[in-house]
Amino acid sequence: MLRAQYATRGPVPSAAIDAVEFTLPPLTEGQALIQVLAAPINPSDVLTLTGEYGMLPPLPAIGGSEGVGKVAALGPNTTSPAVGTTILLPVGLGSWSTHLVAEAKKLMPLPGNADPLQLSMLTVNPPTALLMLRDFVKLEPGDWVIQNGANSAVGGYLNQIAKLKDYRTVSVVRRESAVDGVKAEGGDIVVVDGPDLPKRVAAATDKAKIKLAIDCVAGSSTDRLAACVAEGATVVNYGRMSGEPCQVSPGNFVFKDVTLRGFWLVFWFRKSTPQDQMAVFGECAQLIASGKLSARVQATFDVRDIKAAVTLAASGERAGKVLIVPKV
């Protein structure tokens, strides 16, 4: 058995993490042994390794916050989920591992015929996209949404979900090479960010009244989105790819009455009911299983190659997700 473990944090995310061998004690009642099938490396995982994320586990820690696995064995007097069942890993157990132990009653069964690589990304990015479209502004079919960082995994999910709900989208990217990939994922209008973004968006949408903007870049990009939306619209920030604080000018804050909100999935987990969580995960799981929702995968790595995997995931020119797919 192998897992990716780190005992320090620092500016180079791959520096402190290593694949280490481990053994597990015998299972006790109510426990399940899980064979990990796949686990993604998210931006939040990279920030956790550098110490910049909003919530950091105590050290030493095992990398990875989500993933999908298969029940390999059950503890005494434990009957479900049945051995062989594909399950969603509980959040925060350290998913960059060949195996882990979890409470059997907390395991959510998933469609066994679905692609495990796609299912492994279910916990974080699809709910983030769905909830930002659902919980801040009441959108109707035909309404417009604008987002930046649209070539990210969340951006891809957001465009796909918006299309399923008949919303129209403006997708903003930071380089020309990202345009075609975003269009392939369902983006209606795809533009490269720049100082004249509001003018180009107005022309492309025939001056549509955009109610909702989704921002993962921050910095001056936040203000450019605010300049694109209608009076009284809402801008939701969920990241800072620029490394800078959100900037919104008085012209947009005061004279357009734009509202700036933040979204962090951790808070939703804390505040939502188990029923709402099951409904959201159930909806996303069915969309993934049916092939209506997916993310591009650039590369997969074994646990023993964790340093190379994290290095690639932390780079800025990727065209898809980096996944840990353990070889057992």
Residues with catalytic roles: 53
Dihedral angle of Cα 128, 84, 298, 127, to the nearest 10 degrees = 0
DSSP assignment letter at 53: S
Provide Rg for the chain, Cα atoms.
20
3-state secondary structure of 281: helix
Helix (H) or strand (E) holding 289: helix 274-289
Helix (H) or strand (E) holding 161: helix 153-164
Kindly provide the residue ranges of all beta strands, DSSP E only, lying in the chain, ordered along the sequence. Answer: 2-6, 17-21, 31-40, 61-62, 68-74, 86-88, 99-103, 108-109, 144-148, 168-173, 189-192, 212-215, 234-237, 259-262, 297-301, 321-324
Of residues 29, 9, 5, the one with CA closest to residue 19:
5
Using CB atoms within 10 A of its CB, is residue 175 exposed (0-12), middle (13-18) or buried (19+)? exposed
- Beta-carbon contacts of 28 under 8 Å, excluding residues fewer than 6 positions away, are 75, 76
**Spatial separation of the C-alpha atoms in residues 115 and 156, rounded to whole Å:** 17
